[in-house]
Amino acid sequence: MLDYHYYKSNGNSKEPIILLHGLGGNYGIFNKQIAAYKKDFHVLAINLPGHGKSPDTSSYQTPFSFNLVVNEILKTMNKLNIEKAHIVGISLGSVVLHHMLQRAPERVKSAVLGGCITRFTPFSLFLLHTGSVMKGFVPHMWLYKLFAHIMMPKSNHTSSRRIFIREAAKMKRSNFLAWYKLAHEVRTTYKNVQKNSIDVAKLYITGQEDHLFVNPLLKDTATDEKAQHLIIENCGHVCNVEKPRNFNAASIAFIRKNCSSTIPIPAAK
């Protein structure tokens, strides 16, 4: 079972929000979102496999995959009797959320995808393949720090870059490499999203300076009639950390718009 924390709403809402963090992070990166969300919603913050106190990626009986990760999220939802939820994913969390929209769209009430990755550009593919060659003989944190600086190069990205590097240092090398291997499958996680999740409203929140991913995202999602976009100026990849007020205001308004009164309240952990 995945490691999670359940925050009971201070308000009267009966609807849950599920939070999915990025690679090397944990649900702590959502501190500013949790404080805002729990005023109106129940919040289920999850640590993905290999992060926090969740099981290692090698602890499962089947090969580690995006299908396995989605299954673990669904198991956690089932344990808490959450039939359907609003889901917020950041970076890697957005990739997992896209895969969930292909596998189990009926479990997603609405989707907020921050710093979303739909595919890699030729330059980012070059970086990915270079890392694959280097990973056998360099410490994994060297790779992580290198990619963090390439993805978040500007001075205004410093806080989010430092947070993720600090948290990633707690991650086992084997878990990092397992997720790194899955990165080659990112494009498949978006392949049938528009077809399979035609009833799910999506809000893509992206930093204007998210130079590796923003243009592919806008191109890939341009034909999705259920997709809305918010591009935040002077903001990089981890938009919920760099611009929490913008992120919170937009995501809360979007989630409220897509609420219903039929979702049960999950039991507290």
Burial 194-205 (b: 16+ CB within 10 A, else e): beebeebbbbbb
pLDDT tens-digit readout, 27-46:
999 999 999 999 999 999 99
Mean pLDDT of 213-221: 97
Dist. CA 157–CA 115, nearest whole Å? 13
Asked whether residue 157 carries a pLDDT value surpassing 90, the answer given is yes
Confidence at residue 233, expressed as pLDDT on a 0 to 100 scale: 97
Asked whether residue 267 carries a pLDDT value surpassing 70, the answer given is no
- Set out the domains of the chain in order of their start, with CATH numbers: 4-257 (3.40.50.1820)
Asked whether residue 266 carries a pLDDT value surpassing 50, the answer given is no
Dist. CA 199–CA 106, nearest whole Å? 9
DSSP-derived pairing of the beta strands 4-7 and 42-46: antiparallel
pLDDT tens-digit readout, 177-188:
999 999 999 999
Q: Is there a contact between 112 and 251 (Cβ–Cβ < 8 Å)?
A: yes
pLDDT tens-digit readout, 79-121:
999 999 999 999 999 999 999 999 999 999 999 999 999 999 9
Quote the distance between the C-alpha of residue 113 and its chain's center: 7
Please name the amino acid found at residue 106: E
Q: Is there a contact between 18 and 96 (Cβ–Cβ < 8 Å)?
A: no
* Model confidence, pTM: 0.94
Dist. CA 175–CA 140, nearest whole Å? 10
Kindly state the tokens that stand for 121.
């550009």
Confidence at residue 197, expressed as pLDDT on a 0 to 100 scale: 95
